[in-house]
Amino acid sequence: MNSGKQELKIKRVSSRKRSRDVLKSQLTPVKKTGGDTCLQQCPKNRRLSGIMADTRATEFCSDTEDLFGDYDSILEDSSVLAKLDDAEQNERQRDVQPSAPTNTTDPLDFTPLRPSKDGVWKQPCQDLLTDSILDDLGDEPFEDLPPSQLQFEEQVHETSKWSRTKRDRDKTSTPFRNPDGAGEAARETNMEDNTRRPSKARRSVADQLKRTMVCNGATPAAMSRTAVMKEAVVTEEMSVAMQAMETVSAHTTDLGPFFGLPSKVKELMDKLRGIKTLYDWQVTCLNLDCVQERKNLIYSLPTSGGKTLVAEILILRELLCRNNDCLFILPYISLVQEKVCGLASFGLELDFMVEEYAGSKGKFPPVKRRNRASLYIATIEKAHSLVNSLIETGRMDKLGLVVVDELHMLGDGSRGALIEMTLSKVLYMSETTQIIGMSATLGNIKDLQTFLRAENYTNDFRPVQLKEYVKLKDSIYEVDPKEDECFRFSRLLNFKYSSAMQKIDPDHIIALVTEVIPAHSCLVFCPTKKNCENVAAMICKYLKEEFLQQRAAEKAVLLRELRDGGNGSVCPVLRRTVPYGLAYHHSGLTSEERKLVEEAYSNGVLCLLTCTSTLAAGINLPARRVILRSPYVATDFLKRSQYKQMVGRAGRAGMDTVGESVLILQDQERHMAKGLVCAPMENCFSNLLLDDGKGLLSLILSLVGLNIASSLDQIRDFLGGTLLSVQQRQLCVETSLWEAVQRCVHLLKDKGLIAAATDSDGQSLQVTKMGRATYKGSVDLSYSDVLYRDLSKGLDGLLLNSCLHLVYLVTPYDMVSQCKPDWMTFFRQFTLLSAAEQKMSAAVGVPESFVARKAAGQTVKKSVNMEVVRRMYLALVLFSLLKETNLWSVAERFQLSRGFVQTLLSSSSAFCSCVLHFTEELEEFWPFKALLTELTRRLSYCVKAELVPLMEVVGVMESRAKQLYNAGYKTLTHLSNADPAVLCRTIEHLNKKQANQIVASAKMLVKEKAAALQEEVDELLTVPSDLPSPLKTRLIR
């Protein structure tokens, strides 16, 4: 034999999948998964060096498993390869050494390498490596091996003992032959001296391991190989995209497969959203130089122009290509939940976390993740608290992108002030965080650009043409800014009205809606909630009988779901209007009713909604025609931005070729309406000075508390980067900005929220414990001292055998003014309380004698704080809800609208979360931490305890949770492992899209919880970087 050194070159090829037909497992069979047919089966009588002797391998298959694919994990471990190569070389050298004379007659049954047709030396697939080669591996354990390889190593040790015994007996090393072995992928072998020689060369150890592991399918693979392969492909594409983005120039427009993202994103857009191509303006916007250079950007388009998709692509690019966290700020809880639900599937497929920050949900600071990025989707209030927590923990550098929807809400009262505070802190604390703002067209967009140091992109694109009309008497006029009067006559209404109809419907609403329904959809915006219900009922009276026949079965299903959601109760108006395909939509509906109505309208079961202006700012529900019943919202004349938002709902992309809006006017409103439909857009102004500077007070408190500023000069320096500073000439007319700052600092000192301290640099501002609790709990400064007194008083005699006392303490102060107690109801509910609960009520300032006198209509001489009385009344409402969880019956008992009760419940859960964070910062309130944690959870869902885990899933309301629980899906784990197709068949009236969203949301929640636990484990097991060294320890001794 030639003893020259031989170099083995291993060529990796796609391995064929194992046979799935041997034994069934509890995993999904191949027949159901539609997987590829196995091209090669492992021989059923194969013997691998005694490891599996005469044992039939049990085979398993997961839905996405491809055991090796184009990837072999063991070959990626350099330490294992080194040991195997050394052992193999030693064995070869031992084989080629001259044999002793006594052994020359012993036949050595080695099979040589055979040349193939292409001249490459290849091993026959029948040859298996003798176990003696593994002897030289010794007892040194492998490091960092997967479980399957550790199991293989243990089996090898046992087999090696058997081989040595056999070798000692036979005086030779003879490998097993496999008479039934099928041909497998070739392994190319290169000889350094280019000589071809027959040898005892055996199959490489890596090949042996691979063959053994393929046939030894006794347990399922710990990780899906197909999933690994997919991840590798996506990672490679992301790497290419990142390199392209680093080298991008102003002339480069192609950043990668899909705007710098892996092609899988494009596939998911098609699969999950049905989006195959982008609009031209979207392509242009994504390729702007400022976007590529990660500069801040404000882009403005009409409603329904597709603004959100651009933001989502930029978010995905930041998450995947730069591995940075992102914050997506939305104005309403419903929008946050909709976006969380829509992006959960992307998170699962592309391996990033989607976390909801709305209402009482959200962890502060967020969980710190080492291996994956997070997308925080938050309301305006939660986003501010989130940014505060990131600044406090020094993690702003990880926040790569902030996206703000409805940026023009900067000019919207106290919520606008919160947006300004949040963005100002991001700008001041992080130079690397990019800010993207989506906005309606504004008159002073330049101010916002200066504030955010941003570029601006504006386009008037709409996927569907919008035609605006106004109606005066029975005439329709088209809006045309080129005309002197802004209106051009279009046509007369063609609908015959009787005298009775004319009295009931003087605005000709019936004529306008029947021109489009039921073939098309229609929205009718009304000035008040009551008017919504009245208009819907009025239209039904004059609709033809054919409307009842349209999708009658689906309407019956909707009514049944409304009844189930109301625990047997249905709104009388909806019971009358739904059979005609009509419904109303406003804040007086419960969350479940709103969700059902929205889904039915989106699916075409309902063809008309009468609604308030809140629908225009909320979830996207477009229509062929939008009718504005009046140019008022309650008693306030419409703003141009509100008008544009409403009429922007006209025209459904992909369904309509045109959208129409009709504004109904009275003669006296004609002149005002001219400014509404033709005037330029309004300006957006800072609201930090609103309500006597409440926003500025809150901002200064948080600046001191977060150590961003500790002196007046530093505060002034920070404020130089706010929108208020940009607009101070218009807003600070009577008092300068500097004077306003000084006044606010003095006021905060008077309230005991900050204090002045003297140090080496002079006087500095420091936050007090009370001040820290206030800003970390996001408690309104108007109520912080009242809350502290109530909590302190509550500790003196906290009632623990009932939750009434705790419920009273977390009843929102700002809802008290909206409540007017019914005294007889108050007295009846008061008498149902236990003696301890009545005593607690008297302790807070509401004695039984007072309630009894008010119920009897008698005058009360003793002064009582009516704020406390009304708050106690609301606490009784919440207390009743927690006991029986039936919102309808509680609303009826207390003579309140179910919508108000729903709002009270939502506000209470959010305020309870705030009070919890408030008490965490004050040592004297330590008992409240555990108590309020559980109460927040109960108020958030207000259902029986067993349904709470299911209610955590976005989109699952109480009635759906009951269906799932009764069907056996009792936990998040059940839901996350559910088959959407099975869910559709099991759960009544659940469509495929809903099932997929529920399962995806459940999977994301489970993934989030598991990742949080894993991060905690990793942190516990990590060696501290500041661990004292032995030398230091000896010196201390």
**Total-model pTM:** 0.75
Structure confidence at residue 377 (pLDDT): 97
Number of C-beta neighbours around residue 372 at 10 A: 15
What's the residue count for the chain?
A: 1037
- Give the pLDDT band (50/70/90) at residue 208: low
pLDDT digits (tens, 9 = 90+) for 940-979: 988 888 999 999 998 898 889 999 999 999 999 999 999 9
Of 355-369, 384-398, 998-1012, 1019-1033, the least confident:
1019-1033
d(CA 914, CA 783): 12
Distance CA 105, CA 690 (A): 104
| Least confident stretch, 884-893, 899-908, 1020-1029 | 1020-1029
Q: Is the pLDDT assigned to residue 42 strictly greater than 90?
A: no
Q: pLDDT at position 1, please?
A: 43
Distance CA 798, CA 805 (A): 7
Q: For residue 502, with 0-12 CB atoms within 10 Å meaning exposed, 13-18 middle and 19 or more buried, which class applies?
A: exposed
Name the token pair of 848. 């039984």
pLDDT of 915 higher than 50: yes
**CA-based nearest residue to 219, from 382, 396, 408, 23:** 23
Helix (H, G, I), strand (E, B) or coil at 567: coil
Check: CB of residue 664 under 8 Å from CB of residue 510. Answer: no
* Averaged pLDDT for residues 870-899: 92
| The pLDDT of residue 95 | 54
Contacts of 599 (CB under 8 A, 6+ apart): none
Report the b/e string of 128-151 with b at 16+ CB within 10 A.
bbbbbbbbebeeeebeebeebbee
| Residue 282 backbone zone (phi > 0: left; psi -120 to 50: alpha; other: beta) | alpha
If you count DSSP H runs as helices and E runs as strands, how many of each does the chain have, helices first?
A: 44, 23
- Could you count the other beta carbons within 10 Å of the beta carbon of residue 1016? 11
Between the two ends of the chain, the Cα-to-Cα distance in Å is 67
Q: What is the pLDDT of residue 158?
A: 57
Cis preceding-peptide flag for 518 (omega within 30 of 0)? yes
- The DSSP code for 127 is B
Q: For residue 408, which amino acid is it?
A: H
pLDDT above 50 (res 657): yes
The SS3 call for residue 286 is: helix
The 10s digit of each residue's pLDDT in 69-82 is 444 444 444 555 56
Cβ pair 774, 701 in contact under 8 A? yes
Please tell me the chain's helix, strand, coil percentages from 3-state DSSP, rounded to the nearest 5. 50, 10, 40
What does the pLDDT look like over 608-651, one tens digit per residue? 999 998 888 777 888 999 999 999 998 899 988 889 889 988 98
pLDDT at 110: 41
Q: What is the per-residue DSSP string for 380-417?
A: HHHHHHHHHHHHHTT-GGGEEEEEESSGGGGGSHHHHH
Q: What order of strands is seen across the sheet that includes strand 121-122?
A: 6-8, 189-191, 121-122, 114-115
| SS3 label, residue 471 | strand
Sequence-ordered list of residues with C-beta below 8 angstroms from that of 933, at least 6 positions apart, any chain: 916
Place of tokens 């009826």: 892
398 phi, psi to nearest 5 deg: -85, -15
pLDDT at 439: 84
Beta-carbon contacts of residue 549 (< 8 Å; ≥ 6 apart): none
CA atoms within 13 Å, Cβ hemisphere of 840: 26
pLDDT in tens, 146-205: 555 555 556 555 555 555 554 454 443 334 444 444 443 333 444 444 444 444 444 555
Check residue 213 and give its pLDDT.
Answer: 57
Q: What is the pLDDT of residue 796?
A: 85
* Residue 1022: strand, helix, or coil: coil
Average pLDDT, the chain: 80
Q: Which residues pair with 767 in a beta bridge?
A: 754
What single-letter DSSP state applies at residue 321? H
Could you tell me the sign of the dihedral formed by the alpha carbons of 858, 859, 863, 867, in that order? Answer: positive
Find the helix packing angle between 307-321 and 225-246, rounded to 10°.
Answer: 100
66: exposed, middle or buried (C-beta count within 10 Å: 0-12, 13-18, 19+)? buried
Other Cβ atoms within 10 Å of 933 Cβ, number: 13
Helix, coil or strand: residue 297: strand
Rounded to a whole number of angstroms, the CA Rg of the chain reads 36
DSSP 76: G
Q: Which two tokens stand for residue 17?
A: 């999948």
What's the CA angle centered on 891, arms 889 and 893, to 5 degrees? 65
Continuous segment of H or E residues that includes residue 523: strand 522-525
Q: How far is CA 693 from CA 194, 596, 735, 814, in A?
A: 87, 41, 11, 18
For residue 336, pLDDT beyond 90 = yes
Return the structure tokens found at 340: 């969380």
Residues 474-477: contacts with CB within 8 Å, 24+ apart?
A: 474/508, 476/662
Residue 50 pLDDT:
37
**Three-point CA angle 566, 569, 572, nearest 5°:** 120
Helix (H, G, I), strand (E, B) or coil at 545: coil
Instruction: Label residues 1-23 b or e (16+ Cβ within 10 Å = b).
Output: eeeeebebeeeeeebbbbbbebe
Query: Is the confidence at residue 14, as pLDDT, over 70?
Result: no
Statement: residue 281 has pLDDT above 60:
yes
Q: Which token pair is 147?
A: 């479980």
* Pair of tokens at residue 566: 């109301």
Q: How far apart are CA 151 and CA 197, in angstroms?
A: 36
Tell me: the pLDDT tens digits for 734-787? Answer: 889 999 999 999 999 999 999 998 776 677 999 999 999 999 999 999 999 999
Q: 127-136, 262-271, 476-485, 802-811 — which one is most confidently predicted on average?
A: 802-811
Count Cβ neighbours within 10 Å for each residue of 767-798 and write b for 16 or more, e otherwise: bbebbbbbbbbbbbbebbeebbebbeebeeee
Find residue 706's DSSP bridge partners. none
- 946 vs 92, 309, 450, 617, 986, CA distance in Å? 66, 38, 52, 35, 20
What is the rounded distance in angstroms from the CA atom of residue 782 to the CA atom of residue 688?
15
3-state secondary structure 661-695: EEEEECHHHHHHHHHHHHCCCCCCCCCCCHHHHHH
Compute the average pLDDT of residues 682-703: 94
Task: Give 58: exposed, middle or buried? Use CB within 10 Å, 0-12, 13-18, 19+.
Answer: middle
Tokens matching residue 486: 């802004």
How many Cβ atoms are within 10 Å of 836's Cβ, its own excluded? Answer: 15
Q: In degrees rounded to 5, what are phi and psi of residue 927?
A: -65, -25
CB 97 within 8 A of CB 64: no
**Phi, psi at residue 386, to the nearest 5°?**
-65, -45
Instruction: Identify the band that residue 96 occupies on the pLDDT scale cut at 50, 70 and 90.
Output: low
Ranges of beta strands (E only) in 91-208 are: 114-115, 121-122, 189-191
pLDDT at 36: 45
Supply the pLDDT for residue 192.
41
Q: What pLDDT score does 1029 carry?
A: 73
What is the rounded average pLDDT of the residues 782-795?
92
Percent of the chain past pLDDT 70, that is, above it, reads 74
